[in-house]
């Protein structure tokens, strides 16, 4: 009987050990790169929800638009959350990367800001306007200026318009191309600047209150979660997107951005 009892205990211990190993193996860590506002805030919001499902979310902060894509391509990151689809398409084309959109989350309305003028019509002839220097956001800025009736673009300009795409510039504006993250910093030194929503938010600029002209809500520039091609069906990454597309996130955005600086799209 002692022998049988001892054998039973050994079996039970082995099962418990295997169960413990299985539980340990079922947890997973995903590294996600993000720009600070609002992307990092949104990721932190869902961090505990993912942890409850056995997914540890490791958030890596970036302040540029190139490094987080390169890191996903190389495998140093599992995903990133900072960019819109037109930028992703342009980046893949320019760098030969294989990055894919796995879920749209929100729009950050793009706006024209000025520290010197409070109305569009006050911007003088020959004024200098700062715009992003990456292809898609530069085009986005010029489309914004066209929508504000400040310039007219050639009919074939498209989403990647550049200053050479300008057909009409009645006030002879000068354009200075600046890295997107640096636009808020140069704003006092120019007459106006077209600034991405995340960088405007980071320095306390409110598009509704401070913007001279704001992009419409029908914008194609939806901010997306991105991973490398082949990982679209990764269960942990799917869980991340699902966590970001919830009522909890909608409520948080409405509470924190009541003036429409961030608008959910799901």
Which residue(s) pair with 132 in the sheet? 178
Give 219's Cβ-side CA count (13 Å radius): 31
Is residue 139 within 8 Å of residue 157, measured between CB atoms? yes
Profile the chain (266 residues) by mean pLDDT over runs of 10 residues.
45 46 69 97 98 98 97 98 96 97 96 98 98 95 96 95 97 98 98 96 93 86 97 98 98 94 93
Q: In what order do the strands lie in the sheet with 192-195?
A: 174-178, 128-132, 192-195, 111-113, 213-214
For residues 14 and 11, what is the distance between their CA atoms, to the nearest angstrom? 5
Q: Cα 170 to chain center, whole Å? A: 34
Q: What is the pLDDT, as a whole number, of residue 220?
A: 87
Q: What is the pLDDT, as a whole number, of residue 25?
A: 52
- Please choose, from the candidates 207, 244, 247, 239, the residue with its C-alpha nearest in 3D space to the C-alpha of residue 224: 244
Is residue 112 within 8 Å of residue 208, measured between CB atoms? no
For residues 109 and 221, what is the distance between their CA atoms, to the nearest angstrom? 9
For residues 256 and 266, what is the distance between their CA atoms, to the nearest angstrom? 17
> What pTM did the predictor assign?
0.82
In this structure, the strands spanning 111-113 and 192-195 are antiparallel
Q: What share of the chain is helix, strand, coil (3-state, %, to 5)?
A: 45, 25, 30
Angle between helices 85-95 and 135-147 (to 10 degrees): 140
């Amino acid at each position: 009987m002692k022998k049988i009892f001892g054998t039973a205990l050994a079996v039970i211990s082995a099962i418990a050990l295997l169960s413990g190993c299985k539980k340990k193996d079922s947890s997973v860590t995903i590294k996600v790169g993000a720009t600070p506002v609002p992307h990092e805030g949104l990721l932190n919001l869902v961090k505990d929800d993912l942890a409850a499902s056995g997914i540890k979310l490791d958030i890596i902060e970036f302040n540029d638009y190139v490094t987080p894509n390169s890191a996903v391509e190389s495998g140093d990151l599992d995903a990133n959350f900072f960019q819109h689809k037109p930028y992703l398409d342009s980046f893949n084309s320019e760098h030969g990367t294989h990055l894919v959109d796995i879920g749209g989350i929100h729009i950050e309305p793009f706006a024209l800001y000025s520290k010197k003028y409070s109305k569009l019509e006050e911007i003088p002839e020959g004024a200098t306007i700062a715009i992003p220097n990456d292809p898609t956001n530069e085009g986005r800025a010029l489309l914004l200026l066209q929508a504000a009736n400040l310039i007219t673009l050639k009919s074939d300009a498209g989403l990647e318009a550049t200053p050479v795409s300008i057909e009409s510039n009645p006030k002879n504006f000068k354009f200075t191309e600046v890295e997107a993250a640096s636009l808020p910093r140069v704003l006092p030194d120019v007459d106006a600047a077209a600034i991405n929503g995340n960088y405007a938010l980071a320095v306390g600029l409110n598009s509704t209150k401070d913007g001279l002209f704001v992009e419409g809500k029908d914008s194609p520039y939806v901010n997306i979660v991105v991973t490398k091609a082949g990982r679209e069906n990764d269960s942990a990454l799917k869980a991340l997107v699902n966590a970001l597309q919830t009522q909890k996130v909608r409520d948080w955005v409405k509470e924190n951005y009541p003036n429409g600086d961030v608008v959910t799209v799901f």
